Amino acid sequence: MNYRAVWAIYRFEMSRAWRTLMQSIVSPVLSTSLYFVVFGTAIGSRIPQIEGVSYGAFIVPGLIMLSLLTQSVANASFGIYFPRFSGTIYELLSAPVSPLEVVLGYVGAAASKSILLGVVILATAAFFVDLHIAHPILMISFLVLTAVTFSLFGFIIGLWADGFERLQVIPLLVITPLTFLGGTFYSIKMLPEFWQTVSHFNPVVYLVSGFRWSFFEISDVDVTVSIAATVAFMLACLAVISWMFKTGYRLKN
């Protein structure tokens, strides 16, 4: 195992985050604060409690998930796409590193950044609403699991994309709608029965529901189903990545 290479990639990617601090930390925090002001305080004060939780607090787990998903995908896809675009990927390909080490470095850094972001948003949320976390360890586990899973997913997009537009397509057309329709701002129990059934095909529902359960012990689906669904998606991403490396997909001719 070439630990030094993993560390080198990790550090390199993290230093990119510090260089773009505004973009990677400050702007998500600002947009989350806006959500709290609009939905939590302005509109939320007129919405009754949901299963005993004030609306302002109810949306906190969903908002963290929203940022976690979009930022994990954005970070990881850009991290591997940019060297492919600029050509610096030659060095990675000619280095004594295994696919696993490459993934550990890139995905590890992308996931670290989104976990950090999740924690920052949580801290921001604490300014606006009273929060208590029922199961802190489970909450952290969900945070980490989701960050890793969606960073893996972003890594796949970064390998697949052959232009900057394509890099944007999946986050914009798939991740964002699924997140908004995944119970970020509402409980899917509030939907008509038909749309509740449809919602069960949305993987984000399981993430948000499980994450919310770790805060308030209320959920749309059983928490074990949530964990199982997330782990299954993570394994699927790993399988796709190992296939990509095995075939040299868009990395090697």
Partner 1 sequence: MQPIINVSEISKTYASGFQALKSVNLSIDKGEILALLGPNGAGKTTLISIICGIVNPSSGSVTVDGMDIARDYRAVRSMIGLVPQELTTDAFETVWNTTSFSRGLFGKPSNPKHIEKVLRDLSLWDKKDRKVRELSGGMKRRLLIAKALSHEPRILFLDEPTAGVDVELRKDMWQSVRELRASGVTVILTTHYIEEAEEMADRIGVINHGEIVLVERKDELMRKLGKKQLVLQLNSALDAIPSGLAQFGLELGADRNQLIYTYDTRAERTGITSLLSAMGAAGVSFSDLDTTQSSLEDIFVDLVKASR
Q: Catalog residues that contact partner 1 under the rule CB under 8 A.
A: 2, 4-5, 7-9, 11-12, 15-16, 19, 86-88, 90-98, 248, 252-253
Cβ proximity to partner 1: between 20 and 45 the closer is 20
Residue 12 CB, shortest distance to partner 1, in Å, is: 5
Q: What is d(CA 68, CA 51) in angstroms, rounded to the nearest whole number?
A: 25
Q: What is d(CA 11, CA 137) in angstroms, rounded to the nearest whole number?
A: 27
Residue 123 CB, shortest distance to partner 1, in Å, is: 29
Cβ proximity to partner 1: between 48 and 87 the closer is 87
Residue 126, helix vs strand vs coil:
helix
Q: Which residue has the tokens 């394994």?
A: 235
Cβ proximity to partner 1: between 5 and 205 the closer is 5
Cβ proximity to partner 1: between 87 and 192 the closer is 87
Task: Report the 10 Å Cβ neighbour count for 182.
Answer: 25
Task: Report the 10 Å Cβ neighbour count for 216.
Answer: 20
- Kindly state the DSSP code that residue 57 receives in the 8-state scheme: H
Q: What is d(CA 221, CA 79) in angstroms, rounded to the nearest whole number?
A: 34
Cβ proximity to partner 1: between 224 and 253 the closer is 253
Residues 238 and 156: beta-carbon distance below 8 Å: no
Cβ proximity to partner 1: between 101 and 220 the closer is 101
- Kindly state the DSSP code that residue 216 receives in the 8-state scheme: H
Residue 248 CB, shortest distance to partner 1, in Å, is: 6
The rounded Cα 90 to chain-centroid distance in angstroms is 28
Residue 89 CB, shortest distance to partner 1, in Å, is: 8
Task: Report the 10 Å Cβ neighbour count for 2.
Answer: 15
Cβ proximity to partner 1: between 52 and 96 the closer is 96
Q: What is d(CA 40, CA 58) in angstroms, rounded to the nearest whole number?
A: 9
Residue 108 CB, shortest distance to partner 1, in Å, is: 14
Residue 191, helix vs strand vs coil:
coil
Residue 62 CB, shortest distance to partner 1, in Å, is: 34
Residue 6 CB, shortest distance to partner 1, in Å, is: 9
